[in-house]
Amino acid sequence: MNLDEIRHKIDKIDRELLVLLQERMSLAIRSKKFKSSVVDVDREEVVLSRAERMNLALVPGSFSRRLLRTIIEESRRLQQEDRPLVAFQGEPGAYSEVACRHLMPGAAFIPCMEFIDVFQGVQEGYLDLGVVPVENSLEGAVTQVNDLLTTTDLKVIGEVRVAVNHCLLATEPMDLRDLRVVYSHPQALAQCQRFLLQHKLEPRPYYDTAGAAKMLARENPRAAAAIASKLCGELYDMEIIAEGIADGTANSTRFLLLSRQAYAGRGDKTSIIFATAHQAGRLFNVLRLFAEADINLTRIASMPLRTDPGNYSFFLDFEGDMQDANVADVFAQLEKMAIVFKCLGSYPADRTGI
């Protein structure tokens, strides 16, 4: 083993340590919801004593204790800041976190394994807010999220549309010609197929774009890269080898901000879910209500109704607030016509498109 190889291994360990530290801080912030006080002296002493007892030849117990003491003090500081906990599905650096950072700058962003974890965490009060993708410009509706929206009591209080800008990331600067394999979510690999073929790169599916970047940062395999967001490059100290590598440019995802309480002000966009009897003209009659009230629809989508698979739930977004006179009048008529009707909330429409 030569000096370069030793340093390569050290770099890998340093990245892994920092990624693990980020995970620990995230868990520490979440723990506040389950405690009566930030400081728990007995618990801290258990952690410190355990570290001190570990028989590590090159890491004296006294150093382990000092190191963990510093980490615990930083955990305390983060908990005392009392940041809102904003949940998203995926690993840190996912496009969902990009949306979180735009919608709730300065919050603590909490990754969750599944969409249901985001909904349940917010509903039960362990998390303050949730950010979920509802539709993609290329792939269409995010079915699982739409399904959860039909059963949740949570309210939509904001939205943002995030441009999906795929980047090729590596752990160190390198020439494209030195790369052999690329890891990412199958959807991202498919969207960058032309780039991969052009540069003779072998695509290797991974469960998540940000997860692929995280794996690369921790394991540091040679001649490998990941397709993920630019944010992943910043979080995991990775080099952007190429940016904007998707085959098409018009790729964006719309995200919703979920809360237990409705938006406090007046919104200029509203989302509803409804179902009508499976009879000719029923859907047309509902849509005619909006047309006659001069209400502009911005989205309509459908999916099978859980309780009646032969029928459909319809997701409708439109311009206006549910307190507007024309909207209230449409709602009054719609409640009589629909077999299911739910207003997810009125909220500020996204005008930025990041």
Asked which of 1-10, 285-294, 340-349 is least confident by mean pLDDT, the reply is 1-10
User: Which pLDDT does position 217 carry in this prediction?
Assistant: 87
Average pLDDT on 248-274 reads: 93
Cβ atoms within 10 Å of 258's Cβ, excluding its own? 27
Please state which of the four CATH numbers 1.20.59.10, 3.40.50.970, 1.10.760.10, 2.40.110.10 is assigned to the domain occupying 3-80: 1.20.59.10
353 pLDDT tier (thresholds 50, 70, 90): low
Q: Amino acid identity of 35? A: K
User: Which pLDDT does position 11 carry in this prediction?
Assistant: 83
Domain 85-164 shares a fold with domain 167-243:
yes
Cβ atoms within 10 Å of 233's Cβ, excluding its own? 22
* CATH architecture, range 265-347: 2-Layer Sandwich (3.30)
Name the 3-class secondary structure at 57. coil
Average pLDDT on 122-132 reads: 97
Active site residue 255: yes
Tokens 């795929």 locate to 166
Choice among 253, 270, 274, 314 that is catalytic:
253
- pTM of the prediction? 0.87
Average pLDDT on 6-13 reads: 84
Tens-place pLDDT, residues 131-169: 999 998 888 888 899 999 999 999 999 999 999 999 999
Average pLDDT on 59-77 reads: 93
Strand 308-319 vs strand 269-275: parallel, antiparallel, or unpaired? antiparallel
Choice among 109, 255, 274, 290 that is catalytic:
255
Q: Amino acid identity of 162? A: V
Supply 54's token pair: 């570990």
Nearest to 163 by CA among 118, 204, 102: 102
Q: Is the pLDDT of residue 216 over 80?
A: yes
Give one word for 346, left, alpha or beta, with left for phi > 0 and alpha for psi -120 to 50: beta
For the chain, give every domain's residue range.
3-80, 85-164, 167-243, 265-347
Average pLDDT on 56-81 reads: 92
**Overall fold of domain 85-164:** D-Maltodextrin-Binding Protein; domain 2 (3.40.190)
The CATH class, in words, for 167-243 is alpha beta
Q: Is the pLDDT of residue 309 over 90?
A: no
User: Which pLDDT does position 82 carry in this prediction?
Assistant: 83
Nearest to 172 by CA among 243, 225, 93: 225
